[in-house]
Amino acid sequence: MMTLIDQLAQFKLKTVQFDGVQQSYREAGMGKALVLLHGISSGSGSWVKQLQGLSHHFHVIAWDAPGYGQSDRLAAAYPNAEDYARRLKGMLDSLSLNKVILVGHSLGAMQAAAFNALYPDAVDVLVIANVAQGYKGCDAQKQQDVFEKRPKMLQSLGASGMAQSRGPHLVAHASVDALVLIEAVMQNIHLEGFTDASYLLAYDAIQSYLSPAQDIHVVKGMADGITPPQDIQALVDQFQLKQCYEIVDAGHLSYLDQAAQFNQILLSLN
């Protein structure tokens, strides 16, 4: 049986240049565009089960956020989610993708919500999963702690050490195969991009980009200890979001942990 690393090798990293920057991504399949935005400690390679499992139904594109993989860092010294959204728009325009199903996971959910707020005509369906809501409005010490935590971990442990420390907390089913993939993906996290993403998490919030009763699909992993399901349900209730899906026995990386159920949710939107 092929390992996840073997499967990922089928989806080579690609790059595109626009507006003086380089952006990396992986893609598979044809048809309606399904665009996948990863979380703060991840990368395009973490979506291997979607690149493989959904490529018969969609044109699947998984980006590396600015400063991750081979994507250039954002120019903004203090980026917010709209800066990430503008980069995404540049990538989609360069790939001639006009209207997409947009899926944001964890911190990628904030970026996806900002994209939907800025470019609603470019989004056919918005899905936010295992949502990292952000710490805008929290006290200054909490924000500083959030901002510093992950970059310090990367500096002190290195990518492999960080993966070994954090990997088992990202999935409910910490198989060797999944943990090896997580470590491989974390090798493509760079300190500058990680620092920018940590700033985004600390000083912005998804609430800034949502409106009541929006047609947004929300996914929560019922075994997620990082973005707990009750916190996500509170967000759903606050904004009266359309649809909330529960994936039983899924940790934070729900799309890796319980890929069949996650993929089925996306297929139901097609």
User: What pLDDT shows up at residue 1?
Assistant: 79
pTM for this prediction: 0.97
Name all contacts of 155-163 with Cβ < 8 Å and 24+ positions apart. Answer: 155/191, 159/183, 159/186, 159/187, 159/189, 160/186, 160/187, 162/41, 162/186, 162/189
User: What pLDDT shows up at residue 238?
Assistant: 95
Q: What is the C-alpha separation between 34 and 8, in angstroms, rounded?
A: 18
User: What pLDDT shows up at residue 104?
Assistant: 98
- Provide block-wise average pLDDT over 10 residues at a time, the chain (270 residues): 94 97 98 97 98 97 98 96 98 96 98 98 97 97 97 94 93 92 96 97 98 92 97 96 93 97 94
Distance, C-alpha 164 to centroid of its chain: 20
User: What pLDDT shows up at residue 242?
Assistant: 79
Q: What is the C-alpha separation between 63 and 111, in angstroms, rounded?
A: 12
CATH number of the domain bearing residue 188: 3.40.50.1820
User: What pLDDT shows up at residue 173?
Assistant: 82
The count of domains in the chain is 1
User: What pLDDT shows up at residue 14?
Assistant: 98
Structural domain boundaries enclosing 74: 4-268
